[in-house]
Amino acid sequence: GNSLGSVSERTNPGRTDDFQREAKEILTPDLFDGLRVEIGQSLSQNLGLTHSFVMGSSTVPSHYQLGANYLRDKIFVTGRFDHAGRLSGAVRVQPLKELASKFEFLLGRSKAECGCLAEVELRGRDFTGELQASSAGATTARWHQAVTDRVSVVGEGVYHRAKKVSLLQGGLRFATPDSVTTLSGSSMGQLITSYTHSLTDRLSLATELFMQPRTHDAIFSVGYQVKLRKAIVRGMVVSNGRVMASVKDEIAPNTALLLSGDLNYLANEYKFGLGLILGQ
């Protein structure tokens, strides 16, 4: 058969967010420092609460956050409220399989902390289109098109009214049963290429190269993900001197232990985190 896949067997490629999904999953370990505790409460089949505590972090002040999630049929509502008085939330409505809309908002004590974003998503047999507008003045249009069952292309255009700035981005994705290769570029001159390979059901590797030819900057990352019976281990090394790792270990039913490490050898910075997730 054709190594580039079959045109007749192409299906919906997913959102534009899914373009580099496999590499991002591996190369984005769950990093935090200090102590983190999350307690989940299921109030009903549709409604759940979360209580989050962060203490002893060097990057964010100690805080408490209350979260709520509501899911019913074609509506999903989520909200977060913290002790500083900030309220954030999102509402997603999907009246049809092909059509969805989303509204996100953030309300804080100052005008700079407030904002909102609206999005409409259209899904066809072999494409996904998204149109987004934000209160900051940015309008974004995205399109993810399947060419074959293995190849898809993505395009994005952003226009910022207040700043009179526009940005174009495009990318190509090639997927086989055990690997994914992506190449993307923008009108700002950035080039990003990634490669993900599943060696076994439990072990996956990913690499990413970020280049900015205008400034001669380049950053190379390599990472791994190991799925054990009750744990997920992620780690990565970056060419700028950072080494990162995270572990999520299910130590009992509905109870998980989190470990995080972030070492920056060039800046001589070391951050470690310990976390606990209780409940649903």
- What's the pLDDT score for residue 3? 82
Per-residue DSSP letter, 113? G
Q: What's the chain's length in residues? A: 280
Q: Which amino acid is at 255?
A: T
Give the residue from 222, 219, 217 showing the smallest Cα distance to 237: 222
| pLDDT value at 276 more than 60 | yes
Residue 32 has phi, psi (to 5 degrees) of -160, 165
Give the residue from 117, 167, 126 showing the smallest Cα distance to 149: 126
Q: Where are the domains of the chain?
A: 16-278
- What's the pLDDT score for residue 162? 85
Task: Render pLDDT for 7-38 as a digit per residue (tens, 0 to 9).
Answer: 888 999 999 999 999 999 999 999 999 999 99
Using pLDDT thresholds of 50, 70 and 90, give the confidence band for residue 261. very high
Are 259 and 247 within 8 A, CB to CB? yes
Using pLDDT thresholds of 50, 70 and 90, give the confidence band for residue 1. low
Structure tokens at 226: 């190991």
Are 27 and 243 within 8 A, CB to CB? no
**Virtual CA dihedral for 119, 45, 49, 255, nearest 10 degrees?**
-110
- What's the pLDDT score for residue 185? 97
- What's the pLDDT score for residue 128? 98
66/89 Cα distance (integer angstroms): 12
100/103 Cα distance (integer angstroms): 11
| pLDDT value at 137 more than 60 | yes
The CATH class for the domain spanning 16-278 reads: mainly beta
Average the pLDDT over 215-242 and give the result.
96
Per-residue DSSP letter, 112? G
- What's the pLDDT score for residue 6? 87
**Virtual CA dihedral for 238, 240, 243, 244, nearest 10 degrees?**
-70
- What's the pLDDT score for residue 4? 84
108/106 Cα distance (integer angstroms): 7
- What's the pLDDT score for residue 60? 85
Task: Render pLDDT for 93-134 as a digit per residue (tens, 0 to 9).
Answer: 999 999 999 999 999 988 888 999 999 999 999 999 999 999
Per DSSP, what are the bridge partners of residue 37?
Answer: 53, 276
Residue 215 half-sphere exposure toward CB, CA atoms < 13 A: 10
Place of tokens 């898809």: 152
Q: Is the pTM of this model over 0.85?
A: yes
Average the pLDDT over 147-155 and give the result.
96
Per-residue DSSP letter, 83? T
- What's the pLDDT score for residue 280? 65
User: Is 225 strand, coil or helix?
Assistant: strand
